[in-house]
Copies of this chain bind each other. A is one copy, B any other.
């Protein structure tokens, strides 16, 4: 039971997380994380062979703590496709701000580090699967617009809900988080639902 090692490791991940999620955002160096943890920079490398590994481990740690599956439960148990769409946007859309710091670090590094790119890709594919499930539920209900084949509808929804777009809406367009969620629901419905004389209230 290397309890000491485990404890330090967790302290490191916690420190990394805290710094990455700091606002205003700062550039987080290995030395910053070491200082925040209360150990030497070199000791960091005994736990994580590279910055990229530490980043990936931090993401995994987040996954664990934040329990994504629980958050997505309402979406999965929704009765109609419409409800499922709303629940999914609610869950994922409100998850983004909680992971944004780490996500930003991933996005900044994925162009230079293949391992980071792969880890990011994984997570984004998971989101895409979520989108796809929503689209399939709509199709099953017969409420998916015939304008878009399911695959394409998935691509569109997925792109619409990207972290980059969240970033733009929040920081460039000045949307509040609430407005963001409301808008995404509104837009996705208008876009993906079959045309009826539907009033989207």
**Residues of chain A whose beta carbon lies under 8 Å from any beta carbon of chain B:** 27, 108, 111-112, 124, 145, 147, 152, 155-156, 158-160, 162, 164-165, 168-169, 172-173, 175, 183, 186-187, 190-191, 195, 200
Shortest distance in angstroms between A146's beta carbon and chain B's nearest beta carbon?
11
Residue of B nearest to A175 (CB): B155
CA A56 to CA B147, docked complex, whole Å: 41
Copies of chain A in the complex: 2
Please indicate the chain B residues that have their CB under 8 angstroms from the CB of A183 in the complex.
152, 156
* A165 and B159 contact, CB distance less than 8 A: yes
* B155 and A159 contact, CB distance less than 8 A: no
Residue of B nearest to A125 (CB): B172
* B187 and A156 contact, CB distance less than 8 A: yes
Please indicate the chain B residues that have their CB under 8 angstroms from the CB of A147 in the complex.
186, 190, 200
* A27 and B175 contact, CB distance less than 8 A: no
